[in-house]
Copies of this chain bind each other. A is one copy, B any other.
Amino acid sequence: MSLLIVGTVAFDAVETPHGKVDRMLGGAATYAAVAASYFTPVRIVSVVGDDFSPREHAIFRGRPIDVSGIERVNGRTFFWSGRYSQDMNDRVTLDTQLNVLADFDPKLPHHFRDSRFVFLANIQPSLQFQVLQQLETKPKLVALDTMNYWIEGALAELQAVLRCVHVLLINDSEARQLSGHYNLVEAAARIRKMGPKAVVIKRGEHGATLFAGKTTFSAPAMPLKLVRDPTGAGDSFAGGFMGSLTASGTVSDASLRRAMVYGSVMGSFAVEHFGLSRLRRLTKRQIGARARQFRHLTHFEL
């Protein structure tokens, strides 16, 4: 089974207490696709400019990632620049240059239109909606990520697409903003009335919680000795989460819990080094070993 991922491919400039990188490959779809590709074949839909060289394209090569949905147009690739606070729990955006993303009109290649598992990474909600319209078979599971920018500036569009998705992945502050409720149990309940049957609330260094059906499942974050760069942690989580679900082919209480753990595993790897440098060099064996570490981290007998 293939996972369809739609979102940004970008260049990032990032500064954290552990270093500074002026230009590195990034973008929500890139992180999610690389993370998911360890679990399942991926189909990616995005747009890049003519500054996106074969050197950058190499990130997708040698992996089961079908890049025929990456459109290449004249102009420059989407660029984001940010700086993290000393404790890395906050960040300020220093610069955003939409560039080729400004006119992005996602078109699904014909052979992508039977995708049954879909991840709509963080991007303008109307584009997320447009992608869903192009599917020719009813998807089994659609998950969506979004951010405060769209909650503030494109709420009606966001609400429209939310009615068509099964899982919303969102961070805690955005869940509060979207629901208008501080308590996260209440926030998740309200969001689930907007469409998604399941809500995954990402809490950064504190882990993630799934609300689905009668299930509440909490995955802690892996305690790490060194976090160099939190960029892409949430997208890598989403990639591991959706990759694991797509590979299992079923959506059940057990497969959702397992997906939460593999999401946490991929997020924990992503933050160990700048950009995609850790994520791109993983082996399935390392992923399995860290998943077992998660089990050791949480296992108890009453």
Contact = CB atoms under 8 A, between A and B. Distances in A.
Interface of A: 86-87, 182-186, 203, 206-207, 209, 215-220, 223-227, 254, 257-258, 260-261, 288, 291-292, 295-302
A238 to B, nearest CB: 18
A298 B217 contact: yes
B182 A223 contact: no
Nearest to A298: B298
Contact of A218 (B260, B292, B298, B302): B298
Contacts of A297: 216-218
A74 to B, nearest CB: 45
Contacts of A184: 223
Interface of A is mostly: mixed
A223 B302 CA distance: 20
A248 to B, nearest CB: 11
A52 B40 CA distance: 66
Contacts of A223: 184-185, 209, 216, 218
Contacts of A215: 296
10 contacts: A87-B182, A183-B224, A183-B225, A183-B226, A185-B225, A206-B207, A219-B298, A258-B302, A288-B302, A295-B300
A234 to B, nearest CB: 17
Contact of A224 (B185, B220, B226, B227): B185
Contacts of A258: 300-302
Contacts of A219: 298, 300
B227 A183 contact: yes
Contacts of A186: 225
Contact of A257 (B218, B220, B254, B300): B300
* Top-9 shortest CB links A-B: A218-B220, A257-B300, A206-B206, A185-B225, A298-B298, A185-B223, A218-B297, A291-B302, A261-B300
Nearest to A221: B218
Nearest to A207: B220
Given A209-B223, A220-B207, A302 B261 contact: yes
Contacts of A217: 297-298, 300
Nearest to A227: B183
Nearest to A244: B302
A220 B260 CA distance: 14
Nearest to A88: B182
Nearest to A182: B87
B87 A300 contact: no
Contacts of A218: 207, 220, 223, 297-298
